[in-house]
């Protein structure tokens, strides 16, 4: 287990970004846990989150020239990660998109650095149905950029539309490697260390038995 993944899961549970209970997913499944990156909603929490993303990028990401954050959750993420990487000595340009086309000023839907001809790493929180990645790839193709990969916070390691996980489906469909800060494996290990979470761990393992895949993205 990577050290940063272990620390990230502990941090997300402490911040209640990972919550336990009964939650309906986009796929209509009743999940015993829920991950909501929008709850990293203070300056300190976002700064810490971006440190974890930077750790994952440095350890796993394919070569890239530019970071791209899809609206809306990806916007603070991509800016924060770019700041973090700059503090570590790597000054990387970044861009994001608008949901609405701007018809004045510079116009268009892309904001920030020009991605044309650049290898682009897409930043997201999780991959559920792959919709955000698909929309990002279309935007980047139109901008004559080269999608290089995706980085996410948590790989749930559960089936998407096929027997593959949603993250594996992204790799198969778009040829994009997906790297992540942590996976469901790391969450299971975290819960197994806590004697007060035996019941939660049992529900999580049952859910995984029903919907999970054996290997993470990558």
- The model's pLDDT over 169-203, given as tens digits with 9 standing for 90+, comes to 999 999 999 999 999 999 999 999 999 999 999 99
Residue 1, pLDDT score: 47
- Which candidate, 127, 137, 162, places its Cα nearest to that of 26? 127
Domain range annotation of the chain: 3-211
- Which candidate, 191, 134, 199, places its Cα nearest to that of 160? 134
Where is 102: in which H helix or E strand? Answer: strand 94-102
Whose structure tokens read 């974890």?
52
| CA atoms of 132 and 174, how far apart (whole Å) | 13
- 123-146 confidence digits (pLDDT tens): 999 887 678 898 999 999 999 999
- pTM for the model: 0.92
Is residue 190 part of the annotated active site? The answer reads no
26, 104, 186, 190: the catalytic one is 104
26, 102, 118, 190: the catalytic one is 102
| CA atoms of 60 and 20, how far apart (whole Å) | 28
Residue 217, pLDDT score: 55
Lookup: tokens for 190: 């975290």
Lookup: tokens for 171: 């790799």
- Which candidate, 183, 115, 111, places its Cα nearest to that of 145? 115
Structural contact between residues 15 and 7, judged by C-beta atoms closer than 8 angstroms: no
| CA atoms of 96 and 86, how far apart (whole Å) | 18
Lookup: tokens for 68: 């791209």
- DSSP conformational letter for 73: T
Q: Which residues of the chain have pLDDT under 50?
A: 1, 104-105
Residue 6, pLDDT score: 96
Top CATH class of 3-211 equals alpha beta
Give the SS3 label for residue 183: strand
- Which candidate, 110, 119, 125, places its Cα nearest to that of 80? 125
Query: What whole-number percentage of the chain has pLDDT above 70?
Result: 94
Is residue 104 part of the annotated active site? The answer reads yes
Tell me the angle at which helices 184-192 and 198-211 cross, rounded to the nearest 10 degrees. Answer: 150
Residue 176, pLDDT score: 95
Number of H helices, E strands in the chain: 7, 8
């Amino acid at each position: 287990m990577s050290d940063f993944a272990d620390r990230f899961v502990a941090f997300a549970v402490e911040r209640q970004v990972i919550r336990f209970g009964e939650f309906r997913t986009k796929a209509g499944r009743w999940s015993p846990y829920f991950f909501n990156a929008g709850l990293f909603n203070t300056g300190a929490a976002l700064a810490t989150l971006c440190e974890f993303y930077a750790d994952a990028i440095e350890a796993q990401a394919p070569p890239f020239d530019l970071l791209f954050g899809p609206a809306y959750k990806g916007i603070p993420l991509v800016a924060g990660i770019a700041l973090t990487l700059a503090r570590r000595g790597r000054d990387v340009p970044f861009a994001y998109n608008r949901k609405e086309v701007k018809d004045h000023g510079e116009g268009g839907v892309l904001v920030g650095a020009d991605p044309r001809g650049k290898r682009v790493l897409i930043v997201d929180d999780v991959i559920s149905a792959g919709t955000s990645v698909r929309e990002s790839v279309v935007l980047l193709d139109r901008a004559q950029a080269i999608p290089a990969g995706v980085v996410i916070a948590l790989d749930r390691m559960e089936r998407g539309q096929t027997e593959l996980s949603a993250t594996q489906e992204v790799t198969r469909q778009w040829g994009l490697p997906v790297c992540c800060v942590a996976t469901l494996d790391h969450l299971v290990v975290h819960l197994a260390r806590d004697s007060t979470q035996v019941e939660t761990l049992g529900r999580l393992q049952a859910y995984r038995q029903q919907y999970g895949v054996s290997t993470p993205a990558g």
